[in-house]
Structure 1
């Protein structure tokens, strides 16, 4: 049986995927900005224009690689989300499901979820504890080091 902390870690995987997606999107935007700032230079020295072309090409290649990684991460996030949603859906009580969805799918803090549900923080904390207790998950496979 999984501990409450292991269950939280399981549920937090989607938010972790989301953070990685945002990071990749920001990195793509930085490379896009760099590519747009690179301008062709005019120089009497032969071959000087090739250097500008290489920098643009480097930026475009980096963005293509990052977009591929982003696409892979989006697929991962969708699969993780479905897995978490199935686990949450197995809970019998609607308010427990809703609280876990707010917390682990929507990324709300427990305080924000409590406010949205019109509960005090203490009530939400108790419901959260109950939800984790009732949530039945298979242990995550260990990753090879």
Structure 2
């Protein structure tokens, strides 16, 4: 675990959670698209203009399966990454700090809305946020 990471680096790490989830969704959409290709032989019979049809369905299916496997590997890597972020937040001992980090970085709430939700002043939320980031320890890559 790294303890000498700046507050800004910790913020960036936590902010990457939402973009990682978005990336996982895009990968899942691509996987489903390629799976539909593999179940639709019309792509073999009617190739795009300027291309040749696959004469061997096995070759076509192998290429599709290879692409699906690549996408699934990327998806798994992204899932492991966002789980690390969740695990980092869960190591924070103070429940209010942990809740604040979850609301801000996992759910995407603003500090203003968090202050209202948790019934704290905005100044208190800023202080809790700063303390939470100071207490956060993120894993080495």
Q: Do both proteins adopt the same fold according to a TM-score greater than 0.5, normalized to the shorter chain?
A: yes
Map of 1:79 onto structure 2:
80
CA apart distance, 1:54? 5.6
Distance 2:101 2:119 in 1: 15
1:12 alignment partner in structure 2 = 15
TM-score, normalised to structure 1, is 0.60
Alignment map for 1:49-68 (pairs within 5 Å): 51=53, 58=60, 60-61=61-62, 63-68=64-69
Check 1:28–1:54 CA distance in 2 against 1; reply closer, same or farther (3 A cut): farther
Please, which runs of 5 or more residues in structure 1 have no aligned partner? 43-49
TM-score, normalised via structure 2 length: 0.61
> For 2:58 and 2:118, how far apart are their aligned partners in 1?
51
* 2:91 is the alignment partner of 1:90: yes
1:79-123, Cα deviation, whole Å (9 max, x unpaired): 33443233223322101111222333x342335961654556665
Partners of 1:18 and 1:126 in 2: CA distance = 28
- Superposition deviation, residue 34 in structure 1: 5.2
Aligned CA-pair RMSD: 3.8
- In 1, the alpha carbon distance for the partners of 2:10 and 2:74 equals 22
**Which consecutive residues of structure 2, in runs of 5 or more, have no partner in the other structure?**
47-51
Larger RCO (CA within 8 A; separation ≥ 6) = 2
Question: Residue 38 of structure 1 is aligned with which of 22, 42, 52?
Answer: 42
Whether the aligned pair in 1 keeps the contact of 2:28 and 2:75 (CA below 8 Å) is no
* CA distance in structure 2 between the aligned counterparts of 1:88 and 1:96, rounded to whole angstroms: 9
What is the match of residue 131 of structure 2? 130
Query: Cα distance 1:30–1:83, how it changes in 2: closer, same or farther (>3 A)?
Result: closer
